Amino acid sequence: MTKILAIESSCDETAAAVVIDGREVKSNVISTQIPVHTLYGGVVPEIASRKHIERINRVIEEALIQADMTLDDMDVIAVTYGPGLVGPLLVGVAEAKAIAYAKKKPLVGVHHIEGHICANYIEYPDLAPPFLCLVVSGGHTHLVRVVDYGKYEILGRTVDDAAGEAFDKVARSIGLGYPGGPKVEEAAKTGDPYAIDLPRAKVGDSEYDFSFSGLKSAVLNYINREQMAGRQVNPNDLAASFQRAVVDVLVDHGMRSVEEYKADRFAIAGGVASNGSIRSAIAAACKARGVEFFCPAPILCTDNAAMIGAAAYYEYMAGRRDGWDLNAVPNLKLGER
Ligand code: KG4
Ligand code: ZN
């Protein structure tokens, strides 16, 4: 039995979890900074770092209390070391190194996106590679072939904004505020998704690449045009139409990859994967093709440390150990060491 204390602080959630053998979550504590950053309309990296410093010890303590364990019980100390905001990442990395050093425990650095993908292992104890996974978060949009544990082939990625970034920017332009994703989803519930025609951009070297900046500009242009003409913009219709455009692109790319790779399993991950209409559209598209669909519970989609514990387990089993020189790598690529 391998007991892992996992720490996550790459953006605006300070999180710690105790995970056993990569699948069994004993505790999953998340201290969100959303109310702090809402004042500024987005994450302020300097403030995020300071909040992590203030909260991280209490969050870890709480994770151990809820798991009814102590630091001495842990077999591994795991931490997100990239990608993310450098200041916030450094807080978690320094903390994990200090604990591992003081308690003489192995240290394992984890890739944040790998963590998002591995949230599926927690939700579905029998899920094993190979499968396809669409990772849609605030900083990343990747269509990935999970070839084996810890082995990823990236089929496509965004060439500009990430899906979550598009939600956040569009929410700001409609006047819905931060964080954009949940606000757009809420507004869209009472809007008409067919009210406004928006583009579905296709771009890039790979047919699986994504581009969301054209869609974001189209929303801005629509708002300007309507305002110039003295017409009132219906925020709910705009949110619903934007969300439909995102859903269409995600379903289209995802299902083309399913067909090309003859996949029988398709998973989603990342903060945007907590969106109900994205989940149900991809679930329906998978069902129509006889493909098994996997999506972690919303709390495991947005940033958390349990997913980092799951990813760390497979890295640890593959022999990964980090030294006291482990550093934050803000632009760490998936599959890089
Ligand atoms: O994975 P995550 O928590 O952090 C990153 O790794 O980036 O993702 C955060 C992103 C934000 O852009 C947020 O607006 C988006 O996920 N998000 C959503 C929803 N909940 C969070 N987007 C669409 N619908 C949601 N319900
Ligand atoms: Zn994330």
DSSP, residue by residue, 84-153: S-HHHHHHHHHHHHHHHHHHT--EEEEEHHHHHHHHHHHH-TT--SSEEEEEE-SS-EEEEEEEETTEEE
What CATH number is given for 126-299 in this structure? 3.30.420.40
Model pTM? 0.97
Q: Which two tokens stand for residue 43?
A: 């994450």
Give the closest residue to 264 by CA, choosing from 243, 237, 291, 240: 291
151-157 and 141-148 as β-strands: parallel, antiparallel, unpaired? antiparallel
Ligand 1 lined by 121 (C-beta under 6 Å): no
Ligand 1 lined by 214 (C-beta under 6 Å): no
Over range 193-216, report the average pLDDT: 88
| 52/99 Cα distance (integer angstroms) | 16
| 20/1 Cα distance (integer angstroms) | 7
Domains 3-117+300-317 and 126-299 share a fold: yes
Give the closest residue to 5 by CA, choosing from 103, 71, 57: 71
For residue 179, cis peptide bond before it (omega within 30 degrees of 0): yes
Ligand 1 lined by 270 (C-beta under 6 Å): yes
Residue 202 has pLDDT above 80, yes or no: no
Q: How far is the CA of 100 from the centre of ligand 2 (A)?
A: 24
Give yes or no for a contact between 294 and 120, defined as CB atoms under 8 angstroms apart: yes
CA count, 13 A, side-chain hemisphere, 238: 24
pLDDT of residue 337: 66
For residue 130, cis peptide bond before it (omega within 30 degrees of 0): yes
CB neighbours of residue 140 within 10 Å = 22
Nearest bound ligand to CA 136? Answer: 1
Q: Which two tokens stand for residue 212?
A: 């969301």
Residue closest by Cα to atom 16 of ligand 1: 271
Ligand 1 lined by 137 (C-beta under 6 Å): yes
Residue 218 Rama label (left phi>0; alpha psi -120 to 50; beta): alpha
Task: Give the mean pLDDT of the chain.
Answer: 96
Give yes or no for a contact between 278 and 230, defined as CB atoms under 8 angstroms apart: no
Q: How far is the CA of 229 from the centre of ligand 1 (A)?
A: 33
Ligand 1 lined by 272 (C-beta under 6 Å): yes
Give the closest residue to 43 by CA, choosing from 10, 16, 90: 10
Q: How far is the CA of 228 from the centre of ligand 1 (A)?
A: 32
> Model confidence at 207, in pLDDT bands (50, 70, 90)?
confident
pLDDT of residue 265: 98
pLDDT of residue 39: 87
Give the closest residue to 21 by CA, choosing from 313, 317, 318: 313
> Model confidence at 48, in pLDDT bands (50, 70, 90)?
very high
In the chain, the percentage of residues whose pLDDT exceeds 70 is 99
Give the closest residue to 317 by CA, choosing from 102, 163, 63, 118: 118
Terminal Cα-to-Cα distance of the chain (whole angstroms):
26
Residue that is written with structure tokens 């990239």 in the block: 82
Instruction: Locate the domains of the chain by residue range.
Output: 3-117+300-317, 126-299
The secondary structure of residue 74, as a DSSP letter, is -
Give the closest residue to 186 by CA, choosing from 176, 198, 196: 176
| 70/68 Cα distance (integer angstroms) | 7
pLDDT of residue 70: 98
pLDDT of residue 204: 65
Between CA 80 and CA 91, with CA 85 as vertex, the angle to 5 degrees is 55
pLDDT digit string, tens, across residues 86-126: 999 999 999 999 999 999 999 999 999 999 999 999 999 99
Give yes or no for a contact between 52 and 92, defined as CB atoms under 8 angstroms apart: yes
Q: What is the DSSP string of 232-274?
A: PP-HHHHHHHHHHHHHHHHHHHHHHHHHHTT-SEEEEESGGGG
Q: How far is the CA of 270 from the centre of ligand 2 (A)?
A: 6
CATH architecture of 3-117+300-317: 2-Layer Sandwich (3.30)
Over range 46-63, report the average pLDDT: 98
